[in-house]
Amino acid sequence: SCGKDDIPSTRSTDASLLQAKLGQLVPNSRWQLTKALYTVGDVDFNAAWAKMEVKFTADSTFFYRNDNIYDPISKTTKPKKTLVESHKYAIDGEKICIGDEVFQVISADSKQLNLSSETIKIQLSGRVNSSDP
């Protein structure tokens, strides 16, 4: 989890403004996961699934995969949402801590969030407010 050693003890005005902006953009929202790069040594792995979503509640984040499941009996395709993983998160200044990973927020606006840690880069886009999973 995010410890106080991970966060600078003094905050600039910019960090306070970004924290306020993240506090409006993140809780109770859902985003499309458009890019997720994991770095192992000098190699990057693209780990984003097509049609994957990230949902933020007041204190947790949920990663869902959206699949179309074919039913051979009815010969129809139905959408199915599958929970891949979930983590607690915390916002502090210009950083967001998801699980054990501390991300610097590179950009934050109503249409896109770019998050970057030492080993993971995540791009979220198409913010949609929603209460469903």
> Is a pLDDT exceeding 90 seen at residue 62?
yes
| pLDDT value, residue 103 | 94
Residue 46 has pLDDT above 90, yes or no: no
In the chain, the percentage of residues whose pLDDT exceeds 90 is: 38
pTM: 0.76
Looking at residue 9, its pLDDT comes to 45
Alpha carbons within 13 A on the beta-carbon side of 47: 14
User: Tokens at residue 55, please?
Assistant: 């949902």
Alpha carbons 104 and 20: distance in angstroms, whole number: 15
Q: What is the mean pLDDT of the segment spanning 105-120?
A: 88
Which residue, chain included where needed, has tokens 């997720």? 36
State how far Cα 82 lies from the chain centre.
Answer: 16
Distance CA 107, CA 109 (A): 7
